[in-house]
Amino acid sequence: MTIVSNSVKHSAVDSRVDSFMEALVGQFPGEREFHQAVQEVVKSVMPVVLDNAAYLKAKVLERLVVPDRVISFRVVWVDDAGDVQVNRGYRIQMSSLIGPYKGGLRFHPSVTAGLLKFLAFEQVFKNSLTTLPMGGGKGGADFDPKGRSDAEVMRFCQAFMSELFHHIGPDIDVPAGDIGVGGREVGYLFGQYRKLTKRFNGVLTGKGVNFGGSQLRPEATGYGAVYFASEMLATRGESVEGKTATVSGSGNVAIYTVEKLNALGAKVLTLSDSGGTIVDMDGIDPEKIEWVKDLKTVRYGRISEYAQRYPNAEYLPGERPWRVPCDLAFPSATQNEIEACDAETLVNNGCYCVSEGANMPSTPEAVDVFQAARILYGPGKAANAGGVAVSGLEMTQNAGCMRRSRDEVDTQLQRIMKSIHENCVRYGRENDYVDYVRGANIAGFTKVADAMVQQGYI
């Protein structure tokens, strides 16, 4: 690959980015998060594209922003009161250039085709970074699991899969979990797929370990985000041991981020949900995080209950964790949860390493604050790739009818996070600073763009 030649001037690059984005916004109006995600990638890779005649001729950027297909469907189910409910379901099959479509399902009332397009687009580059052969996709529904009974969640999953099964398969498209979709939902989805198709295969990842799931898949995203932070800190001769950390969210990614931070000797001060933040200056220790795991995955409760269970902790309704001073921050809830003012507060209070467990949790203005302050900033598509990487291992495990031990998966996960970090440094180093955004985007993009050129105009 050729890195930017000096002949490509910055102003020329900027104007190409502007005209590309203008066309995109015109083509896909109103899809704000999708525009945001594309702009970040296009800013990073435009110099590489302008310097590569084959990429220009093949119109790689213009093709990468249009999904292979967008599947949209009605999901009809009956709630516990006997009322008929109607939801919108989607699967965005973004790119299968380097492998079957791969990416999670999100069940949340905010889900739209545009929101899923941003996630599917990010997934293409993230999956490419993992070094495993996976294309990119994302799906979900505007179903809100909050307050729903187990039986309602099961009926919804069955209704959702009754349409989705037409479009997926172990060598076609392999969904997994995301917000609102964890082990319970994947189990119900898999059961319905099996009933409809009579097939037992690796069509979904994040399955229970007793029916083909990989060891360590639930832990993988959170553990991976901490391994990525460790790699970033190592570039400054440091580690997470003895550091204070803030974590947002209290779902799958947040819980296992805290678990790994504790194991490596850090002290975690916060967790949150859409209702507010809990601050525990004594640290959310291993016993407390076990309690949170039970709260969130067995009782489906709210994080405010933590402050009742542990009275030394404080609950801050309606607040995010970012004004609590810390060394390390792990945004692990949702997109755009760190705005510029939050980023300034974090940096001013001494935070110097941000590892994103969530997808696109920092606004572009917040990223500018982190990078201007020269802190270690690991964007989601690199830092949270451990989850889909272990999903990729689960796919190979299912295809080969074999099983890996927990230690084997953990070793692979650490190796993959290290290799993602190395690639970010390789493509993102600028004198004594690593721009992990640029590094991740260029490393993820080149592999996919080369595959596109090599496969012809299709």
Provide the annotated active-site residues. Answer: 138
Binding mask 174-193 for ligand 2IT (x = CB under 6 A): --x-x---------------
224 binds ligand NDP (CB under 6 A): no
Partner that binds at residue 103, options ligand 2IT, ligand NDP, none, CB closer than 5 to 8 Å by kind = ligand 2IT
Q: Which listed option, ligand NDP, ligand 2IT, none, makes contact with residue 137 (CB within 5 to 8 Å by class)?
A: none
User: Using the rule CB under 6 A, which residue among 89, 249, 379, 439 binds ligand NDP?
Assistant: 249
Q: How far is the CB of 331 from ligand NDP (least distance, A)?
A: 8
Q: Of 93-101, 235-243, 356-364, 422-430, which segment contacts ligand NDP by CB under 6 A?
A: 356-364
Please tell me whether residue 362 adopts helix, strand or coil conformation: strand
Instruction: Determine which helix (DSSP H) or strand (DSSP E) holds 300, and give its type and residue range.
Output: none
Rg (CA), the chain: 21
Q: Binding of ligand NDP at residue 384 (CB under 6 A)? A: yes
Residues in the interface with ligand 2IT (CB under 6 A) total 12
CB of 279 to ligand NDP, least distance (A): 15
Provide the minimum distance between the beta carbon of 229 and ligand NDP in the complex, in angstroms, as a whole number: 15
**Of 201-240, which residues contact ligand 2IT (CB under 6 A)?**
205
Applying CB under 6 A, which of residues 100, 180, 321, 378 lies at the interface with ligand NDP? 180
The answer to whether 270 touches 279, Cβ cutoff 8 Å, is yes
DSSP assignment string, 386-444: HHHHHHHHHHHHHHTT----HHHHHHHHHHHHHHHHHHHHHHHEETTEE-HHHHHHHHH
Q: How far is the CB of 31 from ligand NDP (least distance, A)?
A: 17
Binding status of residue 108 toward ligand 2IT by CB under 6 A = no
176 vs 316, which CB is nearer to ligand 2IT? Answer: 176
Answer whether 4's CB lies under 8 Å from 48's CB.
yes
Q: In terms of residues, how long is the chain?
A: 458
Classify residue 410 as left (phi > 0), alpha (psi -120 to 50) or beta: alpha
Residue closest to ligand NDP when measured from CB atoms = 251
Q: Report 294-333 residues binding ligand NDP (CB under 6 A).
A: 332-333
Burial, 454: exposed, middle or buried (Cβ in 10 Å; 0-12, 13-18, 19+)? exposed
CA 352 to CA 360: how far, in whole Å?
18
Q: What angle is formed at CA 232 by the lines to CA 226 and CA 236, rounded to 5 degrees?
A: 130
| 104 belongs to the binding site for ligand 2IT (CB under 6 A) | yes
Cα 283 to chain centroid distance, Å, stands at 26
Rule CB under 6 A: choose which of 37, 154, 159, 179 binds ligand NDP. Answer: 179
DSSP string covering 199-256: --SSSSSS--GGGTPPTTHHHHHHHHHHHHHHHHHHTTT--STT-EEEE---SHHHHH
CA proximity to 57, closest of 321, 452, 426: 452
Q: Does 251 bind ligand NDP (CB under 6 A)?
A: yes
Please identify which residue in 103, 180, 249, 428 interacts with ligand 2IT, judged by CB under 6 A: 103
Residue 358 as a binder of ligand NDP (CB under 6 A): the answer is: yes
Pick from ligand NDP, ligand 2IT, none: which does 189 bind, CB < 5 to 8 A by kind? none
Q: Are 139 and 175 in contact (CB under 8 A)?
A: yes
CA distance 338 to 28: 25
Positions in the binding site for ligand 2IT (CB under 6 A): 102-104, 123, 126, 176, 178, 205, 359, 387-388, 391
Positions in the binding site for ligand NDP (CB under 6 A): 177-180, 182, 221, 249-254, 273-275, 332-334, 357-359, 384, 387
